[in-house]
Every structure is written in structure tokens, then in C-alpha cells.
Amino acid sequence: MKLFDRFRKPPIVMQAAPAPEIIYRNLYLQATWDRTKNAWYRFVPTDVNEEFENNIENLRSLSHRLSVEDVYTKRFLSSINTNVIGPKGIMFSPQNRRGKVLSAGLNESVNRELIRAKKLFDRAPTVSRKQTNVEFVGTVLRTIAEDGECFINIVIDKELNETGLAYEVLDASLLDIRFNGKNQGRRIIQGIELDKFDRPVAYWFWNKHINSRRAAGNRKRIPIPALDLTKPGVQGGILHVHCQTNDRANALRGKPWVTPAMNFLARLQEYMDAELLAAQLGASAPIFLTSDPKDPTPYVRDPIVNTSAAINATPATGQEQRKKAPLRQTIQFEAGTFVKLAPGEVPVAPDVRRPNAQLEATVKQYVRGAAAALDLAYPTLANDNSDETFASARMSVLIERDHWVKLQGWYAGACLQPLFEAWLRAAMLSGTIQLPTKNPDDYMDIEWRGRRWMWVDPLRDAKSKAAQIEMGVTTITEVAEELGKDIDAVIAERKEEIAKFEKAEIPIALNNVIGMDSADTNVTQEPPDGSRPADDE
């Protein structure tokens, strides 16, 4: 460094401007938590099966209680059975053809034989022979809705019936959800033994319920094999049915369908109990008498229980008199009694405003929330059409019926079809059904037709369908399917019906019902000019 360098200014070094400070804000406010939010905001997601293991028993217990005590849960379960199963059940309609191409006609003889044998078996398909098939499938569906799952044991035994096969429903609580371990190298999770592909191999059921009086010392787990229809021959075992769309993926067990509505229904019951208690208190509320006399002596007393001691007691001094307790008089009277009050006494009744003016609106809000959680229309769950118009009622019913149709399709594929395939194998082996070939896979083409519903104004609906058919935007086959009927069965039945009428020489006279209006009836109509028609003489 030279001498003058120390007096020179150092060169200015150019520096980059500092980056602006960015404050990040959570985009999803629901993901944040503070002290004002409820505890359920602090939910930490874990494995779906671990969540079920910790909560499913409490959920099931509450579901059972609601199904017995709660009117809206009872209505929900009844609606499921009425709309999914229906009065005649989901109809069994074989569609086996003469060839493997769609253009081949239906094999009527094979289909009739399947219907005959299936109808005979459906009279008593259970082990106990106490239920018909319609009752049995209704019990299964209610069990799925109430417990979240249903275990159907397909029992193979020649002594059961001619087919050698029958069904029984096992209690879901007998499958120990806390039983985890291994068996022959295979994992056991929540009582279900799985292979390397996580497919059920066996179900480990308790032979008796834990609360049974006969379970002491004799309770043990029994493995029951899972139903495997991929294997040839007659197969028995457990058919585990639970609606996967209502649960998270990879869930081994199912949760009750009423779970999303439990919060609303439980709080509604608590609210109704509180309102009832308030109304009871209001109806039996006492009336208080207030007074302000100049001399308070008659309204005080010595807190001595013994009456004789009180009579013989010496007069109290002023200091002792101040310690005396106030006299509380109780007047008991019946309805219609008039009581004469002393001078200065004023009756004071508590202000109990019951019934609550907001009771109906509050109950409606709770029921609407429960209906939304259960995929039901509010009028269906509450049995209340007071606020509905024709348009709003039709819209809500359309959405609800789409939900029922979806459940019908799921139930047919998840439950009815596997049960039919297991029965067909046993029926062919036992000889209770006679078919051209010995391969059951040749006769698995089945359509399950769920019930359908009529409208409030069926004539207007029929006109609409007729117009759509005439326009070419729909077919008679599609209309028949919307009514839950098979077009081939309709044609065959209609043909047979016409033949019977012709044989009996009875003319079939059907008016043009589709083209009829209300003016075509016998009701007298006013002329177009507005004048009143003359009375008939």
C-alpha cells in the first residue's frame, strides 16, 4: 500500500437487492386450528383399518341404539328396505341365449328352468328355514346399513334341503376386530386372514358372544373359509358384503351407514329431551308469594324442630331474634281452588315460555342435516311435505331415486350374484335343476331388476314416454326397464294374454288412453265461448 492510498475512498461494491419477504398464508382455512375450533378439527389421519379398530365398536353400538330408539334412524332403515328391495324383492331375470353372440335369441327353456328351480329354493333359503328369500335379502341389507357390513355363511350340507346349500347371517361383533397376528405365514388383520394379495382367505369368528351367559370357559375362535367362486365345484364359506363406496379404499371392515348423521341425530334427541324437561318444569312451576309487611315477626321462626320445646322456650332477645330463620310457608291446592291472600302478598309466577316458538324450525334444521348425510330427501326422512311444491318435490325425488337405483345395482353385484352362483353349482351337482351342459359358467348371464316407482300423475308421464317413443329418442324396451320389467317377459305375457281373450271370445277394447285429456272424461265442460250449458230436461 502506498502513502496516499490510505486517504482514498474504497471502491463501491455493487450488491444485489435483498429479496422481498414473502408471508405465506394457508390456502385452506379448514386445515388451520385455533382455540375457537372444535376438537374434531385436530384429526390426525392414520391407517384406515387402525381408525376402524379404535372406533368401530362405539359406532356400531350407537347405531344399534339409534335403530331402536330414534324415529328417524328407523325411518331411514325402513326406506332402504322399501326402495332397494321392494315388496317383491329384486327380480331374478335370466338372459341366457342360444349362442354366444348378442343376436342369438334367448334360450327360453333354459331360462324357465332356472326361474323354476330358483323360485323353489327361494321359499326357504336359510339354514333355519324361517325366512323367504325376500325376507332374507332384506335382513342382509338392513344388517349392512346398521353394522356397515354383513357376513353370510354359505353352508354346504346334504341334510339342509334338496340342494344341499343354505345361508345364514353371522353377527359382525363375533368377528374380533382386535385379533391381529399370523397363521401359516399369512397375516390376520381385524380377524380376517389375508393372502399376499390382501384377499380374504378365512374369517376368525368367536363361537359365542362375549356377553353370553353360556360363553364362560367355552369361548374360542373358529376359522371359517372365505367364499372363493374362482375355484371349480361347489363352494361354501363366508361372503363378506360391505359397501366400499361408503368407506375409504383398502378398508377391511365397514362402518354403519348412519355414521355421518349420528351427530345430528344424537344432538336432536338431546335437544328434544331438554325441551320436554323445560315444558314439564313450566307446567309444574310453583307460584311464589312475596310480601313486605312492617312487622316481620309473624314471618320468622326459631329453627327448633321440637314443638314442645319451642312453646316452653323463654322469649328471645333482639340479638337472638335476628338469628331466627325466615318462615317458608307452602300452600298446596288442587285445580280450580281459589286462595285468599293476606294483605300485602303478591303472587309471582316464573316466566317459562314453553313450548318454544323456535322448536319446529330447530328440529327441521337438524333433520335436514341428517337427511343430507343419509342421501335422503327431507320429506322422506321427516315424513313432512308441508313446505314442498310439485316441482321441488319431483326434483328431490328424482335425485333420491337415482341413489336407490345405484344401491340396487351395487347390492345385486355384491350380494345377489355371488349367492346365485354358489346356489347354481350346488343345484347342478344335486340334480335339482336340469340344464343342457354341466358347466355352471354357461348360465351366469343374469339381470337383476330392482323395483321402480310410479308418479303422482302417471297419465302425464305416460304421455311423455309415448311422445319420446314417437320421436325416436327412446324405445319401448327402455320404458319397460324403467318400470323394472323385462321386455321379453312383457311380450310373452302379452301374447299369452291376447290368446286367452281370443279363446274366450272376449274382445279386448282399450281406449286411446295416451291421447285422453281431462276433457275426454264424462265431466261436463264449459263451451269455448264461456256460456253455461243448458240443464238437461
In a domain, 65, yes or no: yes
Residue 216 shares a structural domain with residue 232: yes
pLDDT band, very low/low/confident/very high, at 155 (cuts 50, 70, 90) = very high
Residue 155 shares a structural domain with residue 233: yes
pLDDT in tens, 237-280: 888 988 766 667 788 888 899 999 998 998 898 899 888 888 88
In a domain, 189, yes or no: yes
Check residue 521 and give its pLDDT: 41
CA atoms within 13 A on the CB side of 464: 7
- In total, how many domains does the chain have? 2
pLDDT in tens, 195-241: 999 899 999 998 887 776 665 667 888 999 999 888 888 888 888 98
In a domain, 473, yes or no: yes
In a domain, 61, yes or no: yes
In a domain, 2, yes or no: no
In a domain, 167, yes or no: yes
Residue 152 shares a structural domain with residue 67: yes
In a domain, 148, yes or no: yes
Residue 449 shares a structural domain with residue 496: no
Residue 72 shares a structural domain with residue 185: yes
Residue 439 shares a structural domain with residue 482: no
- The residue among 408, 432, 453 that closes a domain is 453
Share the mean pLDDT of the chain: 79
pLDDT in tens, 358-390: 888 899 999 999 999 999 999 899 988 888 887
Q: Which domain holds residue 471?
A: 456-518
Check residue 80 and give its pLDDT: 94
Region 463-470 average pLDDT: 88
Q: Who has greater pLDDT, 43 or 347?
A: 347
Residue 491 shares a structural domain with residue 386: no
Q: CA separation (Å) from 19 to 12, 25, 176?
A: 21, 18, 60
Nearest to 432 by CA among 117, 116, 126, 93: 117
pLDDT band, very low/low/confident/very high, at 535 (cuts 50, 70, 90) = very low
Alpha helices, H only, 246-388? 262-283, 307-311, 318-322, 359-373, 378-382
Residue 382 shares a structural domain with residue 513: no
Q: Who has greater pLDDT, 388 or 166?
A: 166
Q: What are phi and psi of 272, to 5 degrees?
A: -65, -40
Residue 381 shares a structural domain with residue 493: no
